Structure 1
Amino acid sequence: MKRVLITGVAGFLGSHLADRFIKEGFHVIGMDNLITGDLANIEHLFPLKEFEYYHHDVSKFIHVPGELDYIVHFASPASPIDYLKMPIQTLKVGSLGTHNCLGLAKAKNARIIVASTSEIYGDPTVHPQNEEYWGNVNSVGPRGVYDEAKRFQEAITMAYHTYHGLETRMVRIFNTYGPRMRLNDGRALPAFMGQALRGEDITVFGNGDQTRSFCFVDDLVEGIYRLLMSDYHLPVNIGNPSEITIKEFAEEVIRLTGTSSKIVYKELPKDDPKVRCPDITKAKEILGWEPKIDRAEGLKRTLDYFKNKV
């Protein structure tokens, strides 16, 4: 049985990845320090002999006994509310944490995939964003702690690939949604659904003309898995290119939930991206991947989850 270490395993994406790897016949070693993760996301895995869990901060030295075939490094605060509250931890997990994971991969001769993000592109001047675009990032702005942590993460991963010949993969994740998101994580979808289900007005920042492209978590996990198993070591965008304005998205949530909530507008946060849409040409050509679940279906599945949380 092949063995995979998943960091950030109790998070939204990490827990879904753990499910996928167990389904594929792996022994999963999960690691999380729970600063943003939730054991409820993985409690269904604890009875399984194919799963073990370590409560650990990957910014500190990592020891995993035995052989490892793969490392999936997804530990990091990922929502603005988290990385603005925990800027130092965000920078440390992207730098020290990634360094530790790469060192472990080298010691175990394991292939590693690191979770980068569309935030690499900052407030983009190229649209849609392709992997050759270098971005428009304010390194000293409030979002800089997350953006630069991910940019450093890509740089050190590439250095380990070039200098040590390590088998590395890099996924640039665009907006993703689905069950196990936290209602209070500050991102649009859980915020809108939480407000709608509580009968509150829905808060849109700015005038709502900024765009996002939402990918359902099952599609994202499929793309990540294919990239890890591929032979391609450069960054690959994984996301859904179906673009929508935030105002239109809020209106979709209102219709879906049947709420009488109204939209209220507040000041746009500093450096908030005006557009966000992935060019997934590489994912199609290299991985044979593209999203299958449309937003209407994905939102229904997500709403069913959130109904039990509000």
Structure 2
Amino acid sequence: MTLTRRSFMAAGAAATGLLATPAILRAQGKLALRMGHPHPETDSWQDTALWMSETLAEKSGGEITLQVFPNGLIGNDPTMINAVRGGSLDIMVTGNPFFTGLAPELNVLDLPYLFHDRDHIARVLDGDIGDRLRRNFDGTGLFALSLWETGWRHVTNSRRPVETPDDIKGLKIRTTPNPAHIEAFKLLGAVPTPMAFTELFTALEMGAVDGQENPTTLILNSRFYEAQKYLSLTQHAFTAAPLVTNADKLAAMGEDQRNLLIETAREGAKRQRAMNVEREGSSLAKLKAEGMQVVDTPDRDAFRAIVAESVQATFAKEFGADLISQISSAAA
């Protein structure tokens, strides 16, 4: 049985004013869920997942449990996505780029220099555009419960400060598998090298890649500063992170269980994004204290001039320009 988008909207509306009592949930039977993610235990993903676990248990009177496996314990990003699709894992979250092979239109969220600020991001992720993008999961075996975030992406490397596009030429940079990320770094003259996040620290430590690009919170929590000397605040892209579950399992849940899970996932997304905002400044200060040399004001206009229009044109050629236009219009 597949949960349709219409039934999701109905469930979401019911979840907003959830009236189910633990007694009602108990009548539906116990529900034991397992969730995995690739980020370290110090990251906001883990903190939010644990909050979800506590909230589900409390509101269900102990009838819904959520066991959380951080740090890629269950496998790397593609492995966990396939595990949820196959039903051996119930819930997982990872960066949007790892889903674009299944739902290519999601690639729009990773176009370089598309978002202006966090208000712009919230209007897109939590509004009609976000609903449209979540519909891309229909037919994949996955259901997007909500959209978390990884955050603003910045470049680190072990070789030299990056102040202008010329400084990045020739650097072997680990990227996500997202076509927009790969194309952008090729345009900049770097050598993009896609790999799973769980493999990244070792690749940096061994010199298999010169650098990578991730938010400051994740650079700190993953201790990339131990293998990277230079950080440049390029803010070249923003990465959302779909929290997904197995669509058939969600549809098979009791209505009150399903509503509670959706309600908790949506509230968790808001908490996780707010948590990242609070931690961005402190994480940067800690990276500086750890000895990273930080370029606070790289020439973002120069980076934007090389990658933004060209990468957007590639996306528009395949999917049309209307979605990009809608996202740009939401910046007002």
TM-score, normalized by the shorter chain, greater than 0.5 = no
Q: TM-score, normalised by structure 2?
A: 0.33
Instruction: Choose 1 or 2 for highest CA Rg.
Output: 2
Q: Judging by fraction of residues, say which structure has more helix.
A: 2
Q: TM-score, normalised by structure 1?
A: 0.35
Greater RCO, CA 8 A, separation 6+: 2
